[in-house]
Amino acid sequence: AASALFRTPLLRYFTATGCIDVSAKEITKAVGKGFSIGIVVDGIAGIFRNNHDDEVVAIKDRKGLAKLALRTGTPLVAAYSVGNTEVFRAGFDPWGGMEWL
């Protein structure tokens, strides 16, 4: 989860479900303890770049996860969930203001 989630009232209770901060430090610590980590690579940016008609994956400039996997010797398993725009609706922001916030 994004670092801001852990500072947000009510939402920070996601930690009880096993969510951790997606910082390299926290991921490295969890992998070192033998945990498997699931990450949505496009993260918050993916929410704001999608709209109902188009399903866009925002991973072009997101290389940190691959670098971290190489550094820690952790295998990566790629997965993609089809139909996210049908299940989850987000307001489309063509100017990028919400992502900037």
pLDDT at 49: 67
pLDDT at 15: 72
Residue from 84, 39, 46 nearest 66 by CA: 39
What's the rounded Cα separation, in Å, for the pair 99 and 58?
Answer: 12
- Ranges of H-type helices in 8-101: 24-32, 43-49, 64-72, 84-87, 97-100
Give this prediction's pTM: 0.64
pLDDT at 64: 86
What's the residue count for the chain?
101
pLDDT lower than 70: segments of the chain: 1-2, 4-5, 12, 43-52, 58, 84-85, 87-94, 96-101
Where do the domains of the chain lie? 1-37, 39-101
Residue type, 77: V
How far apart are the two ends of the chain, measured CA to CA in Å?
A: 17
